[in-house]
Amino acid sequence: MRLPSLKCRAVALAAVVLFGLGGPAARADFLPAFSGNSQMSDAVTSSTQGVRGVVSFSVFANNSPDFVAAINQTLGLSSSNKLVASPVAGGGSIDLDAKYVYVYQVVNTAGTNGPSIETFQVANPNAFTSAGYFFPKAFRDTTGAVGVFNRDVTNTGLGTDPTSDDVGGNGTPSHSGELVTGASGQDTITGFANPKKADLVDGSNPGFVTFTFTGSDLIVSQKTSTIVFLTSNFAPQYLAGRIGDTANPTTLSDGDIPTAVTPEPGSFVLCGLGVGLLGFYGWRRRGLKAQPAVA
């Protein structure tokens, strides 16, 4: 009788496909494999020309009904130093029960005469459910707050400071495998950038979510933005992100950052096939039980 074999195959196929769609099991924790930084710049030989910045990032896997509370608890932040989440224009209401929270911070590492960073872009906007920022916060790692400046940058990113540009699209950031140890209040020397617009609604920049920094919120030379975030129910993968400056608005620097990736249509077909096989097995089994016994 071959029905048990059919059942095993159906269960195995459905389990494999459903696990693939859901990605790793959600935890209330930052994912070290998706924590680190990427250096993006147009002018690797000059500190005063071209788009030049470091994007720090981490992905928080959430199984709490309120990811902000879960992040505060994970980081051990006190009530006086807790993260406060605010929405951005075009980013929708903050999705507090999203399975994944993608957090980013942009640091302008250009010299004192370098252009300001005005845009930060993240690929695959259809995978994200809301956008916002933590006010007024910056990442902290074992060497202190990211983006604390005097005359020179002292900590440009989570983990080892990147020494060369990332190559956008090769699936490898400048640095990964870092643990996020906390968050800091706004340093009195650093600039604070409030992301004015997340392109989740108007579709003017298809293919990317766009955070736009304007006016006094531009990320000027040797300064940093606050932590911005996107929420999603899809697990991360490294894809190219972009930063753009005020000197050449159409010139963008690419580097790999974690972004949410939706399943390909073929995955849904496989999922349907697995569920269908399970249904077929159940139907056959009920049919056999309904047959009269043979004397």
pLDDT tens track, the chain, 295 positions? 444 454 544 444 444 344 344 444 446 899 999 999 999 987 555 444 566 899 999 999 999 999 999 999 999 998 888 999 988 877 889 999 999 999 999 988 877 777 888 889 898 888 899 988 888 788 988 888 887 665 556 788 999 988 888 988 899 999 999 989 999 876 433 333 334 344 565 566 667 888 888 777 788 887 888 899 999 999 999 998 999 888 777 778 899 999 999 876 544 444 444 445 555 455 455 555 555 555 5
Strand order in the sheet with 117-123: 208-212, 117-123, 236-245, 252-260
Q: Which two tokens stand for residue 24?
A: 């790793």
- Residue 80, pLDDT score: 86
- Residue 38, pLDDT score: 95
- Residue 184, pLDDT score: 84
17 contacts 11 by C-beta, under 8 angstroms: no
DSSP structure class, residue 177: -
260 contacts 232 by C-beta, under 8 angstroms: yes
Cα separation, 14 vs 24, whole angstroms: 16
- Residue 124, pLDDT score: 85
Which helix (H) or strand (E) covers residue 228, if one does? strand 227-232
Q: Which two tokens stand for residue 222?
A: 């040797």
Q: Where are the domains of the chain?
A: 1-25+264-295, 31-261
Q: Which two tokens stand for residue 198?
A: 């997340």
Cα separation, 140 vs 185, whole angstroms: 10
- Residue 65, pLDDT score: 94
